[in-house]
């Protein structure tokens, strides 16, 4: 059907998803984004991303303070800085494109059901995730972090598709590439520990 | 549509080869399509995959860029 429809180079995966050993994201197709009205979709996407970045920042700050592994501490502290930078990028974009009604507000006001810092990508609550890490070894914490970053990577690619205007698409694209770099750094540390 | 009928018409790669292909490529340079049902997608999917269940493919085919390679699972 795909080939008949004119798509070129259509390729299936042997064994399907069950055979896949790579990164996996979870959650619904558009994570609620499809329900944002078109005329304010970009603002709401940015606000949602901003709130989730604060959740990730809190999580990494929390785990950085719980481990003695110097490489892991450096990685998590670097991620705290990266998430702060992402928040700044998103806040700047928000004020650049927000309609007048939103321009003076915090992004948080647009997604009242997602209080900043309480939830991370994938819908996981930060407090629950931090509680889970108590007593866990660094490999387990890195596994959870990879799941978190996979969801962030997934979300930004979806936001890029869903964003209504080009500048937002470009910012979401850049953020997705940075999340990919975070994943690469985590994978390298896991391989170093193996 | 029977999924087996759908997939036997197209070449397939091993997961390792697909992982290598996706590697560090810009995700806008290909289509990545999950043709399973929404509940299966929610449980786990390849990052960035677009959910288009088999039964919806014919009506949503225009969401895909015909000029780009398409990985489907």
Inter-chain contacts counted by CB atoms under 8 A, chains A and B? 131
Is A185 part of a structural domain of the chain?
yes
Answering whether pTM is above 0.90, one says no
Are B73 and A13 a contacting pair at CB < 8 A? yes
**pLDDT on residue A5:** 77
Domains of chain B, residue spans: 3-72
Domain B3-72 is in which class?
alpha beta
Domain that holds residue A42: 37-193
Are A7 and B66 a contacting pair at CB < 8 A? yes
Is A166 part of a structural domain of the chain?
yes
Are A26 and B10 a contacting pair at CB < 8 A? no
Q: Is A42 exposed, middle or buried (0-12, 13-18, 19+ CB in 10 A)?
A: buried
Is A16 part of a structural domain of the chain?
no
Are B13 and A15 a contacting pair at CB < 8 A? no
pLDDT digits (tens, 9 = 90+) for A31-41: 656 556 676 77
The total domain count for chain A is 1
pLDDT digits (tens, 9 = 90+) for B12-68: 999 999 999 998 789 999 999 999 999 999 999 999 999 999 999 989 999 999 999
What is the rounded CA–CA span in Å between residue A147 and residue A141? 10
Is A8 part of a structural domain of the chain?
no
Is A82 part of a structural domain of the chain?
yes
Residues 10-69 of B with CB under 8 A from A: 10-16, 18-19, 22, 24, 26-28, 31, 34, 36, 38, 40-51, 57-58, 61, 64, 66-69
Is A87 part of a structural domain of the chain?
yes
| CATH assignment of the domain containing A189 | 1.20.1260.10
Is A95 part of a structural domain of the chain?
yes
């Amino acid at each position: 059907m795909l080939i008949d429809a004119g798509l070129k180079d259509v390729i299936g995966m042997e064994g399907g998803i069950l055979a896949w050993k790579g990164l996996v994201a979870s959650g619904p197709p558009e994570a609620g984004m499809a329900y944002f009205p078109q005329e304010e979709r970009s603002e709401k996407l940015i606000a949602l991303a901003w709130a989730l970045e604060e959740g990730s920042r809190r999580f990494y700050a929390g785990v950085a303070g719980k481990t003695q592994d110097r490489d892991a501490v450096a990685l998590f502290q670097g991620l705290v800085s990266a998430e702060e930078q992402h928040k700044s990028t998103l806040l700047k974009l928000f004020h650049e494109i927000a309609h007048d009604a939103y321009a003076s507000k915090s992004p948080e006001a647009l997604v009242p059901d997602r209080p900043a810092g309480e939830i991370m990508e994938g819908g996981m609550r930060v407090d629950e995730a931090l509680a889970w890490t108590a007593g866990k070894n660094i490999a387990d914490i890195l596994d959870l972090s990879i799941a978190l970053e996979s969801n962030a990577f997934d979300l930004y690619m979806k936001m890029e598709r869903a964003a209504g205007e080009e500048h937002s698409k470009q910012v979401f694209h850049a953020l997705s590439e940075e999340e990919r770099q975070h994943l690469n750094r985590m994978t390298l540390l896991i391989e170093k520990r193996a | 549509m029977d999924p087996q009928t759908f997939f036997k018409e197209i070449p397939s790669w091993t997961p390792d080869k697909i992982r290598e292909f996706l590697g560090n490529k810009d995700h806008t340079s290909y289509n990545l399509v999950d043709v399973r049902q929404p509940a299966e997608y929610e449980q786990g999917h390849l990052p960035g995959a677009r959910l288009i269940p088999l039964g919806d493919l014919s009506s949503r085919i225009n969401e895909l860029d015909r000029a780009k390679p398409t990985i489907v699972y």
